[in-house]
Amino acid sequence: MKTAAEYLTVKSIAIAIAIRAALMLFVAAPLLAQAQALDAGNEDVRTLIYPLSWLEIGVINVPTDSPKFGEYNGLDRSGAYLLANVELRGGDAYQQGDGSTRWQVRGIDLGTTSRRLEANVAQQGLWNFGVHFDQLRHYTTDGSYQTPFLGSPGDNLFILPPAFGVINTTTTTSAGVITSENRGAQSLSASQLAMFHNKNIYTERRDTGLTAGYHMNAQWALQFDFKRLGQSGAKLIGSGTDAYDLSDAGGFKYGGERIAILMNPTEYKTDTLNLTLNWTGRKGFASAGYFGSIFHDDYSGISWSNPFVTGGTGGAPNPAPGTSPGAAFPLSTMSTPPGNQLHQLNLSGGYLFSPATKLTGGLSYARNTQNASYDGTYTLVPNTAEILPVNSLDGLVVMTHADLKLTHQASSALNFVAGFKYNERDNRTASHEYTFLDLGGEELSAVNIPMSNKRTQFDLGADYRFSAHQKLHLGYESERINRWCNNPLANNAQGELSATNAGYYTTASCVQVPRNSENRLVATWRASLGESVNVNAGFTHGRRSSEVNRSFYNPMQANNQGFENYGYLAFFDASRRQNLFKAGVTWQATDRFTIGLNGRRTNDDYDSTLGVQKGDTSSANLDASFSYSENGSVAAYASWQRRTRDLLSASGRDAIVLRDTLWSNNFSDRDNTVGFSGKQKSLLGGKLDLTEEFNYSSGTSRYVTNLVQNISAAVGNSGSSPDIRAKTTQFRFVGAYRLNTASSVLAGYLYQRLKSSDYFYSAYQFGFTPTTLLPTNQQAPNYTVNTIFVAYRYSFR
């Protein structure tokens, strides 16, 4: 005898088969005396079945300048902005007759730099076509960045006028303390300070695209879309350059690292194409497609004037600070991202052996190439690329992916899943040895190390339904990661070592952890207790092990620092045990009131002697919602999140033997968020709708360093960083008043306040920078903005 659950499952499977057939099947029903189609004459029916088109015009007033407030919404400067939103719909499909054409035009925020405009038209079941334009200006500073360089965001050449004068960074120190008058960038002359001016930094995206689709018949369809993403503007970036010694008889003599914060141009174009052929059969379906992404950077590098010199003594620097460099400052150059291409072929599909057994799978093959010339990516005077074996990378990465998943509903209560995934990034780029002048003027040679990796995953899962109200899921996942380099030059690259570390290189190099293997067990339980309470709980336990290469050569160093200390492993490939707990309960106390609580905790324990030791995250969330009437509801939530990370490191360098000079660092991040929202409809005789929303978010992050053993205390080498704090308060209130069926007036108030403090900016303040770092005087973003908007909406059908 079938149980209720079984009956339902069998019935549901039967329904699935019947649905396709039911489309054209007439369901015998009692003779209906008044069977009728939609009564389009009825006003209530009209408002339901005919689409609403509307236009909104208004103005929003922003009384405060704040690029951080306008970060994504374009309201960065005080003033009035045009509010324009539109949605138009039409097409004969809405007449419920023979027509199947629907079209739509939608525009959002047309008066700001965050505008979007899209239009599409389709003859449903036959073809569709659409175009869109989306603009987003992202303000990445709060407007307080100052620079003496001439040039605008989006340029790649930043010149200091010779009148700016040199910055002599020669200082005299005694026992680690600066004793001389000359403080380099920390004490710029009055005329140098006068040349600093503000620049508002933003990077802007303009996305233009079209989509088109065509149904050849019921089974075959073709879909195409193309998107051009054009980016302009800049993002701030550090830059290292050398101080040069003008007094050297041989010309420039470089040494040391001097820093200026520059406007790195983001003048990019990314073209994305998708062409897919879809087949849908009765039991199977498949999709074959091409995905292409072509990235182009307008520049190959960024150049800037180098005002930093050394020479003389701290008390009597030579040349004196502020002296003209002559005709011009020398230029330093670094690279910007090279143009690259990705071409990918994709195949995916599925087959339903039966309503209970399904197989899905996919294959992907992609080639990612990059062959931008090295011209313009390095300083020319002096020529820092001393030996260039080739003039471009000719890089090739082949990425392959395969996945397969089988699900089987063994009975109404038992369900199985088995899956396999494979992802490989095979870097086939050649290695060469490059000899170059690095920061500090040192001549070095390095071999480029193109890295490859692959990830193989298996998972098995079973779901058992005890009843309609209780379910248990058990799963096992395994993951293997392999890392390697494809060419012998990369595998055998070795740096020079000091005597302490002689004998370090014993095996092939390239990556520190050539193999990771992880196994995870997952258990989740869900249940309904009675009619109104739902609970769920879950637990995951994972163990990852690493196979470590004991003579790993870090490709970023070509000198005697090319390795990590003995016993140290990077966290992302270290052995670890991971536990995850989660639980939640939702109680629908009445038809109108629901309350829910859920929480989560993860513990990561790393087995490495040195490196990240532990990482924990905890979160708890409380939610409640209450619909006090047909026309009103309120909701509130509170979220609490914590994250910590413990790190143990050694000072000094020893690749062979564990060092005994140890220090630790603890990171903690605490985030609390609360919010409230409400909606009231049809007040004042059905004419007024109100919505309110309030959010408050507070985040605090802090680092604490302790000297664990055998490290003498020195100024600044232990203790707590100042807190990184950000508190955002946001309140939105919008009302819409219906003047008549076609017109409404909308008005709203938005209050937003950010209070933030971050020690990050301490480094860049005039007079407080390191002597070798050019200030920017950037401040932590803080703002209080009250905005009001008024708009008129006209709607029609």
Partner 1 sequence: MKRLMSIALLCAFVAASVVATRFAVAGEEAAPTRLGQDAVCTRCHDESETKPILAMYQTPHGVTADARTPSCQSCHGESAGHLVGDKDGKGRPAPDVIFGSKHTPAGYQPSAPLAQTEACLSCHKAGLRTHWSGSQHQTNDVVCSNCHTVHAANDPMLVKVLQPGVCFGCHKEQRAQTHQFSTHPLDAGKMACSDCHNPHGSAGPKLLAKNTVTETCLTCHAEKRGPFLWEHQPVNEDCTNCHTPHGSNISPLLKSRPPFMCDECHDGPHNSQAPYGTAVGGIQGGGALAGGNPNSNAVGRACMNCHVMIHGSNSPTGAFLHH
Partner 2 sequence: MTALVVLGFGLAFSAHAMAGVDAEAAKALARQNNCFKCHGATKEKDGPAYSAVAEKYKGKDGAEARLIEHITSGEKAKFPDGHEEAHKIVKTSPPDDMAQIKNLIDWILSL
Return the residues of window 15-44 that contact partner 2 according to CB under 8 A: 30, 33-34, 39
Number of residues that bind partner 2 (CB under 8 A): 18
Mention every residue, 6+ apart, whose C-beta is less than 8 A from residue 781: 66, 68, 141, 142, 754, 756
- Determine the residue type at 734: V
Among positions 240, 292, 441, 678, the unique one binding partner 1 when judged by CB under 8 A: 240
Asked if 266 contacts 201 with a C-beta cutoff of 8 angstroms, the reply is: no
First-to-last alpha carbon distance for the chain, in angstroms, is: 55
Chain residues 625-644 in contact with partner 1, contact rule CB under 8 A: 630, 637, 639, 641
Residue 565, phi then psi, degrees to nearest 5:
-60, 150
Cα 124 from Cα 263, distance rounded (Å): 48
Among positions 249, 250, 591, 685, the unique one binding partner 1 when judged by CB under 8 A: 591
Alpha-carbon torsion angle 293, 298, 303, 304, nearest 10? -110
Nearest to 202 by CA among 136, 254, 248, 157: 136
Give the burial class of 305: count Cβ atoms within 10 A of its Cβ; 0-12 exposed, 13-18 middle, 19 or more buried. Answer: buried
Q: Is the Cα dihedral 424, 428, 429, 433 positive or negative?
A: positive
CA 286, distance to chain mean position in Å, is 31
Find where tokens 């390191």 sit: 770
Is 686 among the residues that bind partner 2 (CB under 8 A)?
Answer: yes
- The least distance separating partner 2 from the CB of residue 684, rounded to whole angstroms, comes to 5
Is 246 among the residues that bind partner 1 (CB under 8 A)?
Answer: no
- The least distance separating partner 2 from the CB of residue 702, rounded to whole angstroms, comes to 40
Is 685 among the residues that bind partner 2 (CB under 8 A)?
Answer: yes
Mention every residue, 6+ apart, whose C-beta is less than 8 A from residue 745: 736, 737, 739, 790, 791, 792, 793
Cα 336 from Cα 338, distance rounded (Å): 6
Is 310 among the residues that bind partner 1 (CB under 8 A)?
Answer: no
- The least distance separating partner 1 from the CB of residue 632, rounded to whole angstroms, comes to 14
Give the burial class of 512: count Cβ atoms within 10 A of its Cβ; 0-12 exposed, 13-18 middle, 19 or more buried. Answer: buried
Find where tokens 């920390």 sit: 186
Asked if 729 contacts 752 with a C-beta cutoff of 8 angstroms, the reply is: yes
- The least distance separating partner 2 from the CB of residue 78, rounded to whole angstroms, comes to 17
Is 790 among the residues that bind partner 2 (CB under 8 A)?
Answer: yes
Cα 391 from Cα 372, distance rounded (Å): 9
Is 694 among the residues that bind partner 2 (CB under 8 A)?
Answer: no
Per-position x/- string for 105-144, each x denoting binding to partner 1 as judged by CB under 8 A, each - no binding: ---x-----x-x-------xx--------x-x-x-x----
Is 237 among the residues that bind partner 2 (CB under 8 A)?
Answer: no
**Which among partner 2, partner 1, none contacts residue 685 (Cβ within 5 to 8 A by kind)?**
partner 2
Among positions 305, 546, 549, 565, the unique one binding partner 1 when judged by CB under 8 A: 565
Candidates 55-63, 313-321, 714-722, 743-751; binding stretch for partner 1 (CB under 8 A): 714-722
Among positions 120, 494, 682, 718, the unique one binding partner 1 when judged by CB under 8 A: 718
Is 735 among the residues that bind partner 2 (CB under 8 A)?
Answer: yes
Chain residues 299-338 in contact with partner 2, contact rule CB under 8 A: none
**Which CB sits closer to partner 2, 119 or 688?**
688
Is 287 among the residues that bind partner 1 (CB under 8 A)?
Answer: yes
Cα 377 from Cα 301, distance rounded (Å): 5
Is 98 among the residues that bind partner 2 (CB under 8 A)?
Answer: no
Among positions 55, 331, 451, 745, the unique one binding partner 1 when judged by CB under 8 A: 451
**Which among partner 1, partner 2, none contacts residue 554 (Cβ within 5 to 8 A by kind)?**
partner 1
- The least distance separating partner 2 from the CB of residue 44, rounded to whole angstroms, comes to 9
Per CB under 8 A, residues contacting partner 2 are 30, 33-34, 39, 630, 684-686, 688, 733, 735, 737, 745, 747-749, 788, 790
